[in-house]
A and B are shown apart, each in its own frame.
Chain A
């Protein structure tokens, strides 16, 4: 359970404060796949960044399973929070091999010590996970991440997020930079994670079709606040037209 109480964020544009996030509260339960929609500048990314700790909120409190994480730094929150970024280059390290990227992901909530952790057992387990993608990458685990396409990297980023325990997966327009086929793979992977792991997912998207096809809760943001919050029953009844009218 992720609880967000009255978090707010102002930015300063010279002297004038710009309110990026009005006091916002949100409670996300395990197995919820929350999709956030909203126009550019509505505060979606600020909300995600405040939850991840990339930016600290001015006021309010964030708790994961009653652990207060408000004061934790980004790297300390990674015990609870995994991320997939909009830019496929952001989720993986180009200069490292695929297997080395997975090693880091496997240690997200552990310390990285002076020990060689990539052994045969580890490689075999990664090969199995990666083969599920059906991209043939399981035989190229020693390739540099930088040599792969955006779609391949984003798919690996999603698989990497499952390497270690987490409570909340934050996805900021994960398919915006991808071709339709890669985008579909990412969405399938995400649903699979939700089915198999005791986690919650918070995803920002601009693609209305994804809003209809995926997720079991939908939130609309505008001018730094939540203006709509529909549970799965109300979401079922939604039509494409209705969603488009939300943005009028």
Chain B
């Protein structure tokens, strides 16, 4: 249990990032990998503020704004300079490595004896992380149902039609990337407090965890033959937790930690390539 429970808590912490990946990848059809940088950015901003005795609840809005700015940067590079979103994401992610180091002033910040949203009580931590991700899920569900949300979803579905409907698609893409990266930064904010430190390398390869959550989640939606937004969001949340559990089981089964990234890639490959054939989604 000392492996399983933390894995579930982490799954909830990473859910925000997974929602962000879902938003860019599935709603906008934009592969955004700013994630590695904006996740660390969220963690770094949180760690710097909290270690300067800010209360975590005051640090949170700053973290969200920082993440959103990273998304805006990627969005503007993509929409205004017409660079491929992958390249735009790589540029911003790479820049963020230096920016994050600059913000921290050193490669890592421990958060000992500082205020923290988590405490020593495992059940409390679990409840808090679960509540966090469920509130986010409900907020996102609401957002998708608003007129703005419908316009966002349409932008990813049919750009030609959306322009004829008076929607500025560039604005929508920038807004979507801002929301996605704000969510990603929020995951960094939570993980830094959960693990008790921020590290400049904490975000390396993290985008695959978000992808894994989304794609594992989709095997749920395919299984339940539902294509509604709510079930998609629930699946992403479940996918995030399931992914952490699978990694925990792998470690328990004796897989050496250095093999985890390979295992992750294989998992995503299995989920994306093989489950598709087993559970064909309802068309």
Q: Interface on A for B, CB 8 Å cutoff?
A: 52, 54, 73-76, 78-79, 81-83, 85, 89-96, 100-101, 103-105, 107-110, 112-118, 144, 147
Contact = CB atoms under 8 A, between A and B. Distances in A.
Interface string B139-158: 00011011110110110111
Contacts of B165: 75, 78, 104-105, 107-108
B154 A93 contact: yes
A96 B153 contact: yes
A220 to B, nearest CB: 26
A75 B150 contact: no
Contacts of B148: 112-115
Nearest to B152: A112
A115 B146 contact: yes
Q: Max chain A CB contacts within 10 Å: which of B148, B158, B162, B283?
A: B158
22 contacts: A52-B164, A75-B162, A75-B165, A75-B168, A76-B166, A78-B163, A79-B166, A90-B158, A90-B161, A93-B161, A95-B157, A104-B151, A104-B154, A104-B162, A107-B151, A113-B147, A113-B148, A114-B143, A114-B147, A114-B148, A115-B146, A115-B148
B153 A78 contact: no
B147 A112 contact: yes
Nearest to B164: A83
B153 A93 contact: yes
Contacts of A105: 165
Contact of B160 (A90, A103, A108, A116): A90
A91 to B, nearest CB: 6
Which of B143, B146, B162: most chain A Cβ within 10 A?
B146
Contacts of A92: 158, 161
Contacts of B283: 147
Given A90-B161, A104-B165, A108-B166, 4 more contacts: A78-B164, A95-B154, A104-B167, A107-B151
B145 A93 contact: no
B169 interface: yes
Given A75-B166, A92-B158, A144-B227, A116 B151 contact: no
A54 B143 CA distance: 29
A112 B167 contact: yes
Interface of B: 142-143, 145-148, 150-151, 153-154, 156-158, 160-169, 227, 283
Interface of A is mostly: loop
B164 A82 contact: yes
Given A93-B161, A144-B227, A75 B154 contact: no
B147 A107 contact: yes
A85 B160 contact: yes
Contacts of A85: 160
A91 B148 CA distance: 19
B159 to A, nearest CB: 9
A40 B143 CA distance: 45
Given A52-B164, A78-B166, A109-B166, A94 B158 contact: yes
A105 B227 CA distance: 23
A61 to B, nearest CB: 22
A118 B166 contact: no
Nearest to A76: B166
Nearest to B145: A116
Given A96-B150, A104-B150, A113-B147, A75 B161 contact: no
Contacts of A52: 164
Contacts of B156: 95
A96 B146 CA distance: 13
Contacts of A114: 143, 146-148
A50 B227 CA distance: 38
Given A76-B166, A79-B166, A83-B164, A96 B145 contact: no
A79 B166 CA distance: 7
Given A75-B166, A79-B166, A103-B150, A94 B160 contact: no
A89 B159 CA distance: 11
A94 B157 contact: yes
B161 A91 contact: yes
A107 B167 CA distance: 9
Nearest to B227: A144
Contacts of A76: 166
Q: Which are the 8 A-B pairs with shortest beta-carbon distances?
A: A78-B166, A93-B157, A95-B157, A112-B151, A112-B147, A93-B154, A93-B158, A83-B164
A113 B169 CA distance: 15
